Chains A and B, each alone.
Chain A
C-alpha cells in the first residue's frame, strides 16, 4: 500500500545560534586544524605527537557535540532547529550560498555518531598503526575526514553539503590508498574515487537544478517552496540525489568500489566504510525528505535500489574468504536496509536513522574486531587460516560476538530493534519489499554465522609460526565500548524516543495498519534468522574447512565470489566502450587531425619542391619568363583598348 503523500512537510526554519550553540563551528574547526597542522609540518616533524593531537581534536569535538546535544534536549520539541551563519560564501547575481550550519535533531544524532565512534577509532589507531612510519599522516587524513563529514552533516545548504561530500571522497581516496607502495591499494583508491565521481555528478546536477528551480540551495528555502515545484522537476531531483547517494553509500549500480576499499587499513574501513561515510547517502535522502515527499517515483526508486542492494551485498558476503570483504558485503547490505527504509517515506525515515546508528556501533565494533584478529594473525585476512581464536583472543571474541548477535537481530541487542522496525514498515508498504527484507535477514544470519564459525570456533587452521595473542588495551577498550553500545543501543526505541526525536525533521509517522501482528512478525523474523544460522552450521560448522578455497563450487558461489559480476558489468558497459571511444579519438587525432595538418604541411612542401625547379639559375630561362609576362601585358593592353 503506497504511503500517502503529505500535504505539509516539515519546513526547515532554524533560529539563530546563541549561547552554547555558537560553538558549532568549533566542532568542525578542531579536526580541520589538526589535519592542517600535521600536514603542513610534515610526517617526520610531527611523528612524535601527531596521533595525540589527532585523538585530542576529535575527542574535543565529541565533548562539544555532547554539550550542544544537551542544549538541544533542553529546548522544546518545536524549537529544535538552530542555525549558525559564518560568512557569505558565494554571492553571484541572484545566487547566494552562505557558509552556514544547521543543527537539529538529525544533525545531532550524526554529530554524536561521527565524533563518538570517530574518537574510539582514533584511539584504536594509535596502537594499530604503531609500526607504520607514516602514522602522523594517517591521523591527519583521519582528522580531515572527520572535519569533512561534520561539514556534510552540519551544512544548512546543498553547496556546503557538497563541500563536505567532496571532502569525504578525498579523504576516502587518501586513506584507501594509504599504503601507497601497494599497487592494489592505489588501484582500489582510484576505483573508489572514480565511482564516487559518477555519484557526484548526481549531487552537482541536483544542486544546480535546485537553484534553477527554487532560486536557492538552502534547505530552508527549498523546503519552504517544495510543494510549489513541478512534479517532473521533483522526480528528477529525487533521482539525481539518489544517484549521488548510490555513489557514496555503495548501492547498486555504484557498489563496485566498496569491497576493493578494504585495501585500506582496518580503522579506515571501520570509520569510513562502515560507520560514517557510507551513511552519507542515507543522510542526504533523509535530509531531502521535503523533496522525496513530493515524488512517488523517486521514492519507489529508492526502495528498489535499497532492496536490490541488500540482497546483492548479502549474497556477495556469503562466498568471500576475506574477513574484511565479508564485513564490507554486510555493510552494503545493511545500508540497503537503510535506503529501503528511507524510501518508505515518513514511515521509514526514523528507522533508517535508527538502523544507521546501531549499524554504526556494531559494524565499527566488528571491523575493529577484525583488525584485532588481523593484528594477532600477522595481518592475514584469509578466514581459512583462522579457526579456534576464541581461546586465543577472548576479549576480541566476546566483543565481536556481541556485534554478531546485534547484526543478525537477536533480541535484546540493538540490531534486533532497528531491523525489526524496518521489516515491519516494509511489510506495511508492500508484500514484496517485506519478503525481500525478510530473506535478507536470513542470509545475513547465514554469512555472519559462517564468519564466526570460521574465525573463532572450530579447529585451528593457523599458518606456521603464527601465535595469535590478544591486542593491547588501546585496541580492546574501544572494542568493549562499542560492544556495550551495540548491546544497549536498542534502548533508543524505548517509548518511541527516536521517532519523536526526529519528528520535527521528517514528519509525523503515519498510522500504518499492519496486515500482520507486530509480535508475530518479530517471531517470523527470528525464526528466519535461526534457520540461517542452522544452515551455516550445517554447511560450514560441521564439515572440515579446507585451507584453500575449493574450485569446484556451484554457479552461485562462483557468482558471489566474483561480486555478482559487478566489475564485469562495469567493464563491459562503460570501460570497454569508453576505451574504444577514447582510442578512436586518439586515432582520429593522430591520423585525422594530424594527417590534415601534416598533410597540409607536406602538400606545401611537395608543392615547393616541385616549384623550386623553376629556379634553374639560368638567366636565360628567367628572361624567357619575363618575355612571357610581357606578352601577357601586351595582350591585356590590346584587349582593353580594342574591346
Chain B
C-alpha cells in the first residue's frame, strides 16, 4: 500500500494541532494539541520506516514517545504549579513579559 495517504493524513493532523495551539486558551488543551502534533509526526516516521524498509523510523517514533512522556510530566507539573499560584489555567494570563 502506498505511503502518500498516510503522509497526507499526518500533515492534516499536524496542521490541526498547530491551529489548536494557536487558538485554544486553556493551557491543558494547548498541551493536548501539542501531543496531537507529536503523534502526527510519529505516524509519518512509521510510514517512512515502512517505505525505507528498515526499522529506524520505528525506533525514532519510540524515542519520540518516551520524550513526549517526559515532557508531558514536567509540563503538567508546571501548569499545576502555575494554577496553584495564579488560580488560572489560561495561557493568556501569563503575559507580563511585554512592552
Interface residue ranges, A against B (CB under 8 Å): 612-613, 615-620, 623-624, 627
Contact = CB atoms under 8 A, between A and B. Distances in A.
Contact of A615 (B21, B23, B92, B99): B99
13 contacts: A613-B99, A615-B97, A616-B95, A617-B94, A617-B96, A617-B97, A618-B91, A620-B21, A620-B25, A620-B91, A620-B92, A623-B21, A627-B18
B22 interface: yes
Nearest to B23: A620
Nearest to B98: A617
B44 to A, nearest CB: 14
B34 to A, nearest CB: 10
Interface string B84-95: 000000011011
A18 B21 CA distance: 107
Interface string B1-33: 000000000000000001001110100000000
A616 B98 contact: yes
Nearest to B96: A617
A278 to B, nearest CB: 74
Contact of B22 (A613, A615, A617, A623): A623
Nearest to B94: A619
A617 B99 CA distance: 8
A191 B36 CA distance: 90
Contacts of B92: 618-620
Interface of B: 18, 21-23, 25, 91-92, 94-99
A619 B91 contact: yes
A623 B23 CA distance: 10
B45 to A, nearest CB: 18
Contact of A624 (B22, B95, B96, B97): B22
B82 to A, nearest CB: 12
Q: What are the nearest 4 A-B pairs in CB distance?
A: A617-B98, A617-B95, A612-B99, A615-B99
Most chain A beta-carbon neighbours within 10 Å: one of B25, B92, B99: B99
Given A618-B92, A620-B21, 8 more contacts: A615-B97, A615-B99, A616-B98, A617-B94, A617-B96, A618-B91, A620-B22, A620-B23
- Most chain B CB within 10 A, of A613, A618, A627, is at A618
Nearest to B97: A617
Contacts of B23: 620
Contacts of A613: 99
Contacts of A618: 91-92, 95, 98
Nearest to A613: B99
Nearest to B25: A620
A615 B99 CA distance: 6
A265 B23 CA distance: 94
A618 B95 CA distance: 5
A619 B97 CA distance: 10
A613 B98 CA distance: 8
Contacts of B22: 620, 623-624, 627
A308 to B, nearest CB: 75
A613 B99 CA distance: 6
A535 B98 CA distance: 96
A619 B18 CA distance: 13
Nearest to A614: B99
A615 B95 CA distance: 10
A620 B94 CA distance: 11
A613 B95 CA distance: 13
A641 to B, nearest CB: 15
A160 to B, nearest CB: 71
A618 B27 CA distance: 12
Contacts of A627: 18, 22
A618 B22 CA distance: 10
A4 B18 CA distance: 106
A620 to B, nearest CB: 6
A61 to B, nearest CB: 81
A146 B18 CA distance: 96
B8 to A, nearest CB: 15
Contacts of B97: 615, 617
B3 to A, nearest CB: 18
Nearest to B24: A620
Contacts of B18: 627
A150 to B, nearest CB: 77
Contacts of B91: 618-620
Nearest to A627: B18
A624 B21 CA distance: 9
B2 to A, nearest CB: 20
B83 to A, nearest CB: 15
B26 to A, nearest CB: 12
Contacts of B95: 616-619
A627 to B, nearest CB: 6
A623 B98 CA distance: 15
Nearest to B21: A623
